[in-house]
Chain A
Amino acid sequence: MGVSTERQDNTLIAKTEGRIDGANAREFQDALDAAIDSSERAVVLDLEEVSYISSAGLRVILLTAKSLQKQDAKFAVCSLSESIREIFEISGFDQIIAVHDSRNEAVDALKN
Chain B
Amino acid sequence: MEPPYKILVVDDEPDLEPLMLQRMRRHIRAGRYTFVFAQNGIEALERLNEQDDIDMVLSDINMPRMDGLTLLEQIPKVDPNIRSVIVSAYGDMKNIRTAMNRGAFDFVTKPLDFADLKITIDRTLSHMTEWREALSSRDKLVALQNELNVASQIQQSILPTEFAQGDNYRIYGSMDPARNVGGDFFDVVHMEDGFVGLAIADVSDKGVPAALFMMSTRTLLKGSAIGIGDPGKVLGEVNELLEEDNDAGMFVTVFYAVYNPLNGELAFANGGHNSPLIVHTDGSSTFLPLTKGIALGVMPGLPYKEQSITLAPGDTVFLYTDGVTEAMNTEGEEFGEERLQQVFATVSPQDPQAANEAVFAAVREFAGETPQSDDITCLALSRSES
Contact = CB atoms under 8 A, between A and B. Distances in A.
A92 B295 contact: yes
Interface in B274-299: 274-275, 290, 292-295, 298-299
Interface stretch (A1-9, A32-40, A54-62): A54-62
A90 B272 contact: yes
A22 B206 contact: yes
A100 B183 CA distance: 30
A92 B249 contact: no
Interface of A: 21-23, 25, 52, 54-56, 58-59, 62-63, 66, 83, 89-93, 95-96
B271 interface: yes
Interface residues of B, number: 28
A89 B290 contact: yes
Given A62-B249, A63-B249, A91 B272 contact: yes
B231 to A, nearest CB: 16
A37 to B, nearest CB: 20
The 10 A-B residue pairs with the shortest CB-CB distance, nearest first, are A92-B294, A55-B204, A63-B249, A91-B272, A56-B205, A59-B204, A92-B272, A91-B295, A22-B206, A62-B249
Contacts of B204: 55-56, 58-59
Contacts of A90: 253, 272-275, 290
B292 A95 contact: yes
Contacts of A21: 373
Nearest to A26: B205
A52 B335 CA distance: 14
Given A56-B205, A91-B295, A92-B272, 20 more contacts: A54-B326, A55-B183, A55-B204, A55-B251, A55-B253, A55-B322, A58-B204, A58-B295, A62-B251, A62-B298, A83-B334, A91-B253, A91-B294, A92-B292, A92-B294, A93-B298, A95-B292, A95-B294, A96-B294, A96-B298
23 contacts: A22-B180, A22-B205, A54-B374, A55-B183, A55-B202, A55-B203, A55-B205, A55-B251, A55-B253, A56-B205, A58-B251, A63-B249, A89-B290, A90-B275, A90-B290, A91-B253, A91-B295, A92-B271, A92-B272, A92-B293, A92-B298, A93-B294, A96-B294
A66 B247 CA distance: 10
Contact of A59 (B249, B290, B294, B373): B249
A25 B183 CA distance: 15
Interface in B243-282: 249-251, 253, 271-275
A62 B299 CA distance: 10
A91 B274 CA distance: 8
B205 A93 contact: no
Contacts of B294: 91-93, 95-96
A34 to B, nearest CB: 17
Interface in B125-148: none
Interface in B215-254: 249-251, 253
A54 to B, nearest CB: 7
A23 B328 CA distance: 15
Contacts of B326: 52, 54
B71 to A, nearest CB: 50
A6 B295 CA distance: 31
Nearest to A59: B204
A59 B205 contact: yes
